[in-house]
Chain A
Amino acid sequence: MTFADLNFILRLIPIFLLIYYLAPAKVRPWLLLVGSLGFYYVNEPMLIIVMAAGAVLNFLLALINFKKRNKIILAIAIILDVLWLGAFKASAPLHLGLLIPLGLSYFVFKLISYQVDLFKGKVEKLSFVNYLVYLFMFPQVIAGPIARYDYVISNKYWAKREGSRRERFGQILCQLEEGLKLFAIGLFFKVMVADHIAVLWNELKTIGYESISTPLAWIGAYSYSLNLYFDFWGYSLMAAGLGIMLGFEFIINFDQPYFAASISDFYRKWHSTLGTWFRDYIYFPLGGNRKGKLRTVFNLIIVWAVTGIWHGSTLNFLIWAGVLCLIIIFEKLLLSKAPKLFKVVGHLNVWLIIPVTWVIFAIHSLKDLRLYLLRMFPVINVGVAVNAKDFRYSLMEYGVYLVLGLIFVMPFVTNLYRKHKDNVFVVLMIFVMFWVSIFSLSNSAGNPFMYLRF
């Protein structure tokens, strides 16, 4: 069950929110924990035991570290977590036959973050319930965003609040209104933009990369770039919206990445909770950029190697990460010395290179990847039975979704929303977007989120 499941949207969420807010404030963390475990159980009935065992073991180590900080305990916790994740990740390439529990990567990243933050004294009070809610909370357990522990304990509605009952009721309604709007927008991005564009991308595989024309290969690359963005941004908005409905703060995971000033900037704005996790728990501890250029380059290589391996076990992920790492090093060491040139080239890099890197990310077979890239850059003719008009058919069929994607990718749309989100016309538009998405979901099987097994 994902967030784009009709039962989740039309039944579970309204019922859960009703119970959640009817219950006294101190019971709410428990309710969220029970709801989250139930949600995870529905998705992963067997492997929930693996996750629970990992959580309990980590909490025992955290208990020791909370009483008396000990680097060795921290190291043991991190090593165990990395080995745990590594064993499951290595299962596919080594044919170990282990099934990866849903959302394990995000879960382990949260565990490591918790252990490090606790060691640094950022966790003031140890609470098993809050700890479990942090790990299992249903808006984040499947595919992030990777919040930090302080996100959970900052919940506004877990402590008795001041003000009259009427005022508190008004505040809850405001929170629900805000969260629901974000959820509806995210749902639209996912169902109406990402899922429809995804069909175009899948069709290229159906046709066979050797038979697509060069214009279609480029349309495919941009389509996949939009598809991935709206799929994951849509999911993140739904997760953030659910979080707000439950009393948490808005959590930013995407911040107009396609309008970033450079590729380094792109990865600060794309899946930023993952980026900041890598920065805070790998790049900075390695020394970041404070220990000279050579060390900076080394640190970047380590971070990107881990990023590549984390995303998948096939070679294309290492190539993808390697290309990005090289460009980022180039931007940091050379291009940054010519700011005016950087301003132009940085944007061009994002618009031209990022779609190519997404193709590398998407195609796992190196043979197919070579074919696709040669159709994009036809220096060698590998085309077989190419229909030169194929891109026109695709544009005719999917043009409307691509245009929608291109409009929503523009920063001005988000800015307009921020400024006028309470305007009646904007509210009515979101209302229509919500029901259009439900209409589409009611009449299709849906498309699971791409990052589910990452």
Chain B
Amino acid sequence: MNPKKYLFLILLFVSIVGLSITGLYSRTGIYKEFFKNYLTTPAASVVFKAAAAGVFPWSNPVSEKEPEKPKPVTHTKPTEKITIKPFIKVDDEYFNDALFIGDSRMAGLAKYCEALDERATFYAKKSLTIYDIRDESWIPIDPTKPNSKTETLWEALADKQFSKIYIMVGINEIGIGDENVFRDAYEEVVSRLHSAQPKAIVYITSIMHVTAEKSEKDELYNNPNIDVRNDAIKTLADSVDNFYLNLNEAIDDADGGLNAEWTGDGVHLKGSCYEPWHEYLLSHGIKVK
């Protein structure tokens, strides 16, 4: 028998066995968090799942991504007299020095709200999470190139100054950790934003609801889960430097979910339906020096 005739079979056999042994061997070590259910998860696939998260067979068993202890968010000195700033109406020029950070929903705002796109800066990416914002290199240095090198938010902010920063993330990470973990990460990001942009105020935008229909059917991406997290990040607002924008006021229908007529998939606004968001921002500005 000529083994060359069965090369593919041999390669597959050896690789499947090898990867399965690798996965099983480290099932209580580096792959512990990826091995949730032995019945539904083949050991070989765990190795790939972990690799996508940056954990390789040769990685250190001690988690490299141990979350840092969040730093306190308030940078206002306790002795300062606190003046609560109210929302005012603004015009589009207000956004000339604004930065918008967010996931695909924010990316949609950039694409389909010309008034904002031509004035503000957008760092928005599909499937972005608060953890990506904090830890990852995700902002393309040259957005016109498909495979442009990327940089972290903190690197991107180093040579720029904004006076308003709007954030909206939270839907993608709904399955990761609980609302406290989410809030802590959010708090850290907000705190670092103030350090990087001392003159800026931060708008913490509520996680946009999904439609009532989707909410009822989806065990994870539903409005009760979204509301729990919104309540958590709302506590970060101090009405001095950090402001909470309850966008759901503007986009919900009578059923308490994203207006079903404004969405094609129950999660994102349609291209033609970003104006209510824009209007909401225009009526919820904060006077900055």
Contact = CB atoms under 8 A, between A and B. Distances in A.
Contacts of B267: 206
Contact of A396 (B5, B40, B146, B270): B146
B83 interface: no
Interface in B40-75: 40-42, 44-46, 48-49, 51-52
B111 A427 contact: no
Nearest to B273: A208
A427 B7 contact: yes
Contact of B271 (A386, A427, A434, A438): A386
A211 B272 contact: yes
B5 A207 contact: no
A177 B6 contact: yes
A181 interface: yes
Q: Name the prevailing secondary structure of the A interface residues.
A: helix
Q: Name the prevailing secondary structure of the B interface residues.
A: helix
Of the four ranges (under 10, 10 to 19, 20 to 34, 35 or more), the interface on chain B belongs to 35 or more
Contacts of A205: 264-265
B11 A431 contact: yes
Contact of B45 (A173, A206, A207, A441): A441
A424 B52 contact: no
Interface string B110-131: 0110100000000000000000
A12 B255 CA distance: 45
B12 interface: yes
A424 B7 contact: yes
A10 interface: yes
A419 interface: no
Contacts of A70: none
A427 to B, nearest CB: 5
A265 B283 CA distance: 60
Interface centre among A173, A202, A212 (most CB of B within 10 A): A173
Contacts of B8: 177, 180-181, 184, 427, 430-431
Contacts of A170: 1, 5
Of the four ranges (under 10, 10 to 19, 20 to 34, 35 or more), the interface on chain A belongs to 35 or more
A441 B5 CA distance: 28
A192 B3 CA distance: 29
B274 interface: yes
A422 interface: yes
Contact of A207 (B15, B41, B146, B271): B271
Interface of A: 6-7, 10-11, 14, 166, 169-170, 173-174, 176-177, 180-181, 184, 202, 205-208, 210-212, 384-387, 390, 393, 396-397, 399-400, 422, 424, 427-428, 430-431, 434-435, 438-439, 441-443
Given A205-B264, A211-B271, A385-B275, 16 more contacts: A6-B41, A11-B42, A176-B9, A177-B6, A177-B9, A206-B268, A207-B264, A207-B271, A208-B270, A210-B272, A211-B272, A387-B112, A431-B11, A431-B12, A439-B48, A439-B51
9 contacts: A174-B6, A180-B12, A207-B112, A210-B272, A400-B146, A422-B4, A431-B8, A438-B48, A443-B52
